[in-house]
Homo-oligomer: A and B are copies of this chain.
Amino acid sequence: MAKKPPRSNSSLTRPAHFKVERFFQALGDSTRLRLLNLMGDQELCVCYFVEILKQAQPKISRHLAYLRRAGVVEARREGKWMHYRITPPADAGAAELLRQTLAWLKQDRAMQADRARLGKACCTPAKFTALQAAPAPSAAARTRRRKAR
């Protein structure tokens, strides 16, 4: 609110407070792209990202914060577990660009390897010690997941 305005002289905004520059900056890092690729159409909790990408948890957490700030993902707490999923950005144009970016990522070998690893983690959880107690990935839904299962 009372923050210093962006240094660029005019900020491209569509829906109130949606920052196009932020959106692109959010996509300008390979770790964040890998996170988005893993989420895809699913909702994942943080420990999956840590396990699949083999990166330190604070690092993953920090990048997820960037993605939240850009309005590209949202978080849902379930007890001590934090679930993340991609959310269409507030701006329709950005939402379409994001959709297309994800389709593009799908074709990348390294991204495919990450997704394959996620598949393994889901099918053979015994091989992933850190994921033993973790909630399994689920289809991302727009509404709040109900407690009862």
Q: Which residue of B lies closest to A23 (CB)?
A: B28
A129 on the B face (CB < 8 A)? no
A96 CA to B104 CA, complexed, in Å: 10
Question: Does B14 lie within 8 Å of A31, measured CB to CB?
Answer: no
Number of copies: 2
Q: Which residue of B lies closest to A30 (CB)?
A: B8
Which residues of chain B come closer than 8 Å to A115, judged between CB atoms?
Answer: none
Question: Size range of the interface on A?
Answer: 20 to 34
Chain-B contact segment, one of A42-50, A106-114, A118-126: A106-114
Which residues of chain B come closer than 8 Å to A10, judged between CB atoms?
Answer: 30, 34, 110
Question: Does B14 lie within 8 Å of A29, measured CB to CB?
Answer: no
A61 on the B face (CB < 8 A)? no
Q: Which of A8-26 contact B (CB under 8 A)?
A: 8-12, 14, 20-25
A107 CA to B140 CA, complexed, in Å: 30
Given contacts A24-B24, A25-B24, contact A31 B8 (CB under 8 A): yes
- Residue in B11, B20, B30 whose beta carbon sits within 8 Å of that of A9 in the complex: B30
Given contacts A6-B30, A93-B104, A100-B97, contact A111 B12 (CB under 8 A): yes
Q: Which residues of A approach B to under 8 Å, CB–CB?
A: 6, 8-12, 14, 20-25, 27-31, 33-34, 55, 93-94, 96-97, 100-101, 103-105, 107-108, 110-111
